[in-house]
A and B are shown apart, each in its own frame.
Chain A
Amino acid sequence: MKHLALAAGCLIAGHAAAQTSQTPPEELPVLNVYTYDSFTPDWGPGPAIAAAFEETCDCDVVFTPAGDGAALLSRLRLEGARSQADVVVGLDTSLMGAAKATGLFAETDVTADYDLPQTWTDTTFVPFDWGYFAFVGNEGADLPTSFRALADSDTSIVIQDPRSSTPGLGLLLWVKAAYGDEAPAIWDALSDNIVTVTPGWSEAYGMFLEGEADMVLSYTTSPAYHVIAEDDASKVAVPFEEGNYLQIEVAAKLAATDQPALADAFLQFLTGSEAQAILPTTNWMYPAVMPDEGLPPAFDQIVDPSKALLMSPDDAEAIRATALDEWRNALAR
């Protein structure tokens, strides 16, 4: 029984501690930013960006992590207009269509001189970084450079499930954008190369690192992490002849925010040089606006921007169900 009393005591103490840690010490206005999980840890971009913005805004920035991009949007939909969120950081171009349809987001007049492979016209969503999806493999291995070559080879790949992960959905749209009606045939040909399909990026990348497959679906910027953080140049991303699918990550202001001016200021700050310089080596993506000091050499572009593939948010949203059926039918056999 002593154990039980102790456990109860711990719970109450822990809960009380959790409660008090929520309230900021001073009465500054609070900007609540919802984002995906890997944005907020000490090694992510969140803390540095929050600190830099707090120096200019006389406010407290509170990041709330909510799973991945898709979970983030679901969380906002569940909370609806009651959401605490003022700003959301971390949706992407394949979620934008669904996000816009919720009516939860407000237009903003933030402008910047974007360095994106495509011109940006949307006035609700503000791009803050971007990357290409790419297959990543080991340097020195014979790595195919197109979907057709991959399908014809013995190269094994591990991919993510488009029903539960953003990169998985990206790959689905990539094949659809490159091959259109031929997509089912491509999936059919790829099926014997696919070792397995994982629920999320982490599992797939972990399996690749353990040697379960020759290549993994990830980003063109993945090798930069290994070079810069681990001094390991053994990983390479492969540009595909069909072009690589683009992922642009976006932020937006919530329509129901009680801090609209602060939210706009934050979005403007996010596209500024200071924040943009933080992003590459913490979020491992290309900056949406080139920071003044440029980029480390590991971030050299490997994909010709003219070969960037991207469906418009509306097209992506419209084609998703069909593409998913094709994918499932081809791989379920």
Chain B
Amino acid sequence: MAQRPGALTMGRALGRGAALGLLVLLGAPLAAIFLRAGGASLPGAADWAALRFTLTQAALSALVSVLLAIPVARALARRRFAGRRLLVSLTGAPFILPVIVAVMGLLAVFGTQGLVNRLLGPLGLGPYRIYGLHGVVIAHVFFNMPLATRMILQGWQAIPAERFRLAAQLDLPPRMIFRLLEAPMLRQVIPGALAAIFAICLASFAVALILGGGPRATTVELAIYQAFLFDFDLGRAAMLALMQTLLVAGAAMVALMVTRMEGSGAGLDRLLPRWDAPGGWRRSYDALCLCLATVFLLAPVLAVAAAGVTGMRDLPATIWPAMGNSVVVALASALTTTLLALALAAGQSRLIQGIGLLPLALSPLVLGTGYFLIVNPVMIPGRLALPVTVLVNTLMALPFCLRMLAPAYERVESDYGRLSDQLGLRGIARLRWLTLPRLAGPLGFTAGLAGALSMGDLGVITLFGSPGQETLPLLMFRLMGSYRSDAASAAGLILLLLSFGIFWVFDRGGRGRHA
């Protein structure tokens, strides 16, 4: 941009500082584990097999999630109908569900006694078995398609409405609109979405094992878990964690290298009817895409909700403090994640964005253990259970939030940056008059997402477990672990409602006039 070489704007300095801080937050726990272990032990044959499976399922999951998300995002972008906003929000629910709740929901639909098999049975088909690589991919698509849809939808909405109006005036056929307007945008958004989802799926553990149907579905994350808890081989755990980090770093680099950043030109931010939206069979096609996606994403969520209703009266009194702890953790994580993501986005550098993806690779278990080792000589780690949970949840939510925020930030800068430079709009004033208003939508979404993810994450609290510091997911897990499955389902429902509530409030607050 228009600045003297060598001069750093405040934003860039902030970005570099935040990236450095992030590297320390990620590197320190790994270093602590290596130090404690006194070295690394090399991965064995079983670990390499786990690595192969991990890569396969993550690549497939990312590809399918993004491919399926494109038609859904396009339908959402070009159709206007009653309940559209609600649909956009509701279909985001799977992403914020705690893993085990989501697995139970998926089984209620795809399991042996599930909806699908009950429909197939009378037709003389089936039984359909979900367990296997395809089950892992279905589950990961269920989790991540909402994220992909949202990322791609945001790309669509970033194309100024005036362009689509011009296209409509020129009577461009859908093919040309795709080539001239949509394809360049997709090129900009899709690599990031692929990389983010690939990285999420790399660290999958319970989903992959349960739906994978046995030891062939072993992921690196499970190997880490085993090394920590059963073998207590810290060196091997840290080595595997490092391997995972390098994989994510590689994926992030590839994605950011093929991403082309360019502004589409500024518009007036009006939400106009899409006159270019094609009618005829394309209208039915869009409707079909939306219906299928809605059923796929909401049926398991509804199954979870229905299962939870009956158990409400079995809930223990500790549900209240657990809810309180969870809300506090969620709000704190929302705040810290948004600030950190904004600072990293302000760096406007691919390297910094790549660094921002790294936390995906480090499992909460590795981070938690590392922080535990760092804190232990100084004070009782259990005292820090909630703050460390906030920290780890912040790191875990950061990559998603950054993927939403960074492209939006760069678009603002490339569209309005030069004007602002000419006007001498810098520092806090620029943040206040340009960045924050233009980013209100993505910021709201980011905060909501971080809050909701944090709410549903079991995270490190089990490791730091201490008297009286129980979160909602932990309580749910403990209920399940004591035969109280009805009460656990009810806690799951409360968790779902709270997560969704937090997401909804922030997202609504940020979107304002944007859809």
Contacts and interface: CB of A to CB of B under 8 A. Distances in A.
B382 interface: yes
A200 B100 CA distance: 11
Interface string B327-340: 11001101100100
Interface stretch (A142-150, A161-169, A249-257): A161-169
A210 B463 contact: no
Secondary structure of the A contact surface, majority rule: helix
Interface string B184-212: 00000000000000000000011001111
Interface string B139-170: 00000000000000000000000000000000
Contacts of B212: 196
A259 interface: no
Contacts of A327: 215
Interface in A166-190: 169
A207 B481 contact: no
A21 interface: yes
A38 interface: yes
B468 to A, nearest CB: 5
A8 B108 CA distance: 39
Interface size class of A (residues with CB under 8 A): 35 or more
Contact of A207 (B107, B316, B468): B107
Contacts of B223: 163
Contact of A67 (B335, B465, B480, B482): B465
A298 B447 CA distance: 51
Nearest to B382: A64
A78 B205 contact: no
A67 B385 CA distance: 14
B103 interface: yes
B376 interface: yes
B216 A331 contact: yes
Contact of A7 (B317, B318, B332, B463): B332
Contacts of A74: 228-229, 232
B512 to A, nearest CB: 14
Given A3-B447, A332-B214, A196 B334 contact: no
B81 interface: no
A212 interface: yes
Given A14-B325, A196-B131, A67 B376 contact: no
Interface size class of B (residues with CB under 8 A): 35 or more
A141 interface: no
A41 B482 contact: yes
Contact of B213 (A40, A77, A197): A197
A7 B113 CA distance: 43
Nearest to A41: B478
A161 B222 contact: yes
A8 B46 contact: no
Given A199-B206, A203-B100, A164 B225 contact: yes
A62 B229 contact: no
B89 to A, nearest CB: 17
Given A41-B318, A74-B229, A163-B226, A195 B112 contact: yes
B105 to A, nearest CB: 11
Contact of A212 (B107, B218, B465): B107
A13 B469 CA distance: 14
B386 A15 contact: yes
B225 A163 contact: yes
B328 A196 contact: no
Contacts of B334: 3, 7
A319 B49 CA distance: 22
Contact of A3 (B325, B328, B376, B506): B506
A333 B469 CA distance: 43
A213 B113 CA distance: 9
Contacts of B107: 207, 210, 212
Interface string B375-392: 011001111011100100
A266 interface: no
Interface in A286-331: 325, 327-328, 331
Contacts of B481: 37-38, 68, 200-202
Nearest to A35: B465
A63 B382 CA distance: 12
B108 A210 contact: yes
Contact of A18 (B112, B316, B468): B468
A195 B107 CA distance: 12
B230 interface: yes
Interface in B44-99: 46, 49
Contacts of A41: 316, 318, 478, 482
Contacts of A70: 229-230
A209 interface: yes
Nearest to A73: B232
Contacts of B218: 328
A194 B113 CA distance: 16
B104 interface: yes
A125 interface: no
Given A66-B465, A163-B222, A198 B317 contact: no
A284 interface: yes
B210 A4 contact: no
B511 interface: no
A120 interface: no
B206 A203 contact: yes
B386 A42 contact: no
B206 A211 contact: no
Contacts of B447: 3
Contacts of A213: 112
A322 B485 CA distance: 35
Interface string A1-18: 001101110110111001
Given A195-B112, A225-B483, 16 more contacts: A21-B467, A22-B466, A37-B462, A37-B465, A42-B318, A43-B482, A66-B465, A80-B376, A161-B215, A163-B223, A164-B225, A196-B209, A197-B215, A199-B206, A213-B112, A327-B215
Interface of B: 46, 49, 100, 103-104, 107-108, 111-113, 131, 205-206, 209-216, 218, 222-223, 225-226, 228-230, 232, 316-318, 324-325, 327-328, 331-332, 334-335, 338, 369, 372-373, 376-377, 380-383, 385-387, 390, 447, 462-463, 465-469, 477-478, 480-485, 488, 506, 509
23 contacts: A3-B506, A11-B332, A14-B386, A18-B386, A41-B478, A42-B316, A64-B466, A65-B478, A67-B465, A80-B376, A161-B215, A163-B225, A163-B226, A164-B229, A196-B209, A196-B210, A197-B210, A199-B222, A202-B480, A207-B210, A212-B112, A213-B112, A328-B46
Interface of A: 3-4, 6-8, 10-11, 13-15, 18-19, 21-22, 37-38, 40-44, 62-68, 70-71, 73-75, 77-80, 82, 84, 98, 156, 161, 163-164, 169, 191, 194-203, 205-207, 209-213, 222, 225-226, 229, 284, 325, 327-328, 331-333
